[in-house]
Amino acid sequence: MIGGGIVGAATAYELHRAGVDVVLLEARRLGDGTSGNSTAKVTSLHGLTYRDFDPDTARVYGQANEWGLARVAELASELGIDCALRRKAAYTYAEGASDLSKVEEEVEAARAAGLPASFTTESDLPWEIAGAVRFDDQVEFQPVDYILGLAAELDREHPRVYERTRATAVSGGVVSTDTGFSVRAERVVVATQLPFLDRGLFFARTHIERSYALSLRIRGAVPEGMYLSTESPAHTLRAIPWGGEELLLVGGESHDMTRTKDRGGFAALENWARERFEVQSFEHRWGAHDFIAEDSLPYVGRLTPTSDRVLTATAMRKWGYALGTASAAILAETVQGRHHPWGDTFDSWRRPPLKTLPKALLHNAEDGVAFFGDRLRRGHEVDDLGPGQGRVIRSGVGQKAVHRDGAGVLHAVSARCTHLGCIVRWNEGEASWDCPCHGSRFEPDGTVLAGPATRPLEAREPPKEEPMPPRGVKKGTKRARQYEHVKKSEKQAGRSEQRAEEIAARTVNKEKARSGESRTASRSSVKDISSGKRGGKRSGSGPGGRTREQLYNDAKKLGIAGRSSMNKKQLLAAVNRKKGS
């Protein structure tokens, strides 16, 4: 079993229980993937879903989820896993009347599929809703504790669970790992969310959505139910027990990782929460992504169409607890050479419905745009990169991913994703390099956070910053004094001579950039170049081609007060105002 999320742990447990000798390999720690970073509702109610399936598919999908939900509750109780499991009602609610008909259709379709759906206009949310689908007796839990509980069963007699062991290849029944050890197995299940092996082309048959979540302390009662809105982007919420009190978990602001960058999901969620609750404090925040097949069903079964020695389960569409547990049952049967009744509906090599083809083609075209478009992007300087920010810059024929850490030091890695070569993007909210094509994520130093990539981003030399002391700063000037002052206080704070000089130089450079004194502008020769000959892009040449220094001199001649603290734009406006008057 490769992957220690809900799918890997549940499948390994089902096999172990059936008497199969299983070894579980996890690249990081158990539950470190999406399973440990979600909203953890174990439910058959998946937003608005059943109305979009044909009746047979809706029935199988509903049955599988009901089984998965019951199985989680059964195993938690039977194995005594302390995972804060609670029974709750789940709701998909429409806030306004415009989505009411969708809610009504969902109730009808879910009932027809044999599910315990009802329509209600009641909720314990502190705002009015137009109507909701309600499923009673659903579950919420602490997924990492549950996964650890299942894994403990595997380890009971012999060590069978290996964390910090990343599988790097599977060939001829041998799984190679990055620890140098390998595992020989009759069957292999790749439960790495998106399979890290490319031969099944699952990356081309899914798209990725990344979402964000917060936990917060509010004044007043935390709603009891588990809620998901019908709006787009949707918002989700539920209570979460934490250190003896009830916090509120809110999530949402999903975006397609290929099409759009993070548009400030955490900030948007905070605003959403503040508008609806009296927030006392925000306690935790996290993000995660999941894969979605164009027909909205998971892929469960063979990794490639021709062999059943390597199996997988992926594309849980952000509903992987009940569905992943049901997938484990299918996989466990397949490993033992038996066919599961739900197997055909979720078959990883089912023929895609024709109507989904345009969407699949569009997503692959978007991957292509990300692949080539990001390569064509023009390079940037890094002088204005603030602490915690990152940027991809040109470096010879390639591109470097450059990040400035909290202490102001630049770090660089190759911007080329080690999966299939797309250019990574900086994710400021979560301080990681994320690949827009198939969701690989890397730490700022290039370490793999999430596959399908299995190798880190290659280390690169960070760009050189201006030598110390900064060029163009003459002895005895205000900037030279500022440089010495910052250097001294950094040394007093315990930094080495070299670090203190770096920080002082950067502070001075940033101040110069902020106030419009660019390096070029501070050279006296710039004054001699007529504005007509200066390139429009020359930094330091202000509107009308005047540098800040020139505008400052104009302001001085005109006797404008406060000129030394003005930036270029403010100086220009003040000069024009004065001339006009």
Ligand X SMILES: Cc1cc2nc3c(=O)[nH]c(=O)nc-3n(C[C@H](O)[C@H](O)[C@H](O)COP(=O)(O)OP(=O)(O)OC[C@H]3O[C@@H](n4cnc5c(N)ncnc54)[C@H](O)[C@@H]3O)c2cc1C
Residues in contact with ligand X by CB under 6 A are 2-8, 25-28, 32-35, 38-41, 166-167, 191-193, 196, 211, 213, 251, 288-290, 316, 318-322, 324, 451, 454
Which partner, ligand FES, ligand X, none, binds residue 437 by CB below 5 to 8 Å per kind? Answer: ligand FES
Using CB under 6 A, pick the residue from 420, 431, 480, 558 that binds ligand FES. 420
Mapping DSSP to helix (H, G, I), strand (E, B) and coil, where does residue 283 land?
Answer: strand
Alpha-carbon gap, residue 47 to 292, rounded angstroms: 14
**Residue entry with tokens 């959505």:** 209
Token pair of 209, please? 């959505």
Q: Does 419 bind ligand FES (CB under 6 A)?
A: yes
Residue 552 phi, psi dihedral angles, 5° rounding? -60, -45
Q: Which lies closer to ligand X via its Cβ, residue 7 or residue 551?
A: 7
Kindly state the smallest distance separating residue 20's Cβ from ligand X, in Å: 19
CA triple 52-332-353, angle to 5 deg: 25
Which partner, ligand X, ligand FES, none, binds residue 211 by CB below 5 to 8 Å per kind? Answer: ligand X
Q: Does 131 bind ligand FES (CB under 6 A)?
A: no
Which partner, ligand X, ligand FES, none, binds residue 417 by CB below 5 to 8 Å per kind? Answer: ligand FES
Kindly state the smallest distance separating residue 289's Cβ from ligand FES, in Å: 11
Q: Which lies closer to ligand X via its Cβ, residue 92 or residue 192?
A: 192
Site stretch for ligand FES (CB under 6 A), options 258-266, 434-442, 500-508, 515-523: 434-442
Q: Does 422 bind ligand FES (CB under 6 A)?
A: yes
What DSSP letter does each residue of 415-464 carry, written as one string? SB-TTT-PBPEEETTTTEEE-TTT--EE-TTS-EEESS--SPPPEEPPPP
Token pair of 268, please? 């948007």
Question: For the window 443-472, what string marks contact with ligand FES as x by the rule CB under 6 A?
Answer: ---------xx-------------------
Q: Are 51 and 106 in contact (CB under 8 A)?
A: yes
Alpha-carbon gap, residue 107 to 112, rounded angstroms: 9
Q: Which lies closer to ligand FES via its Cβ, residue 194 or residue 560?
A: 194
Q: Is the peptide bond before 467 cis (omega within 30 degrees of 0)?
A: no
Kindly state the smallest distance separating residue 555's Cβ from ligand FES, in Å: 51
Q: Does 413 bind ligand FES (CB under 6 A)?
A: no
Q: CB under 8 Å, gap of 24 or more: what pairs does 412-416 form?
A: 412/459, 412/460, 412/461, 412/462, 412/463, 413/442, 413/444, 413/445, 413/446, 413/456, 413/457, 413/458, 413/459, 413/460, 414/446, 414/457, 414/458, 414/459, 414/460, 415/457, 416/457, 416/458
Kindly state the smallest distance separating residue 134's Cβ from ligand X, in Å: 16
Q: Which lies closer to ligand FES via its Cβ, residue 129 or residue 424?
A: 424
Q: Does 268 bind ligand FES (CB under 6 A)?
A: no
Which partner, ligand X, ligand FES, none, binds residue 214 by CB below 5 to 8 Å per kind? Answer: none
Alpha-carbon gap, residue 298 to 514, rounded angstroms: 51
Which partner, ligand X, ligand FES, none, binds residue 432 by CB below 5 to 8 Å per kind? Answer: none
Q: Is the peptide bond before 387 cis (omega within 30 degrees of 0)?
A: no
Residues that bind ligand FES (CB under 6 A): 417, 419-422, 435, 437-440, 452-453
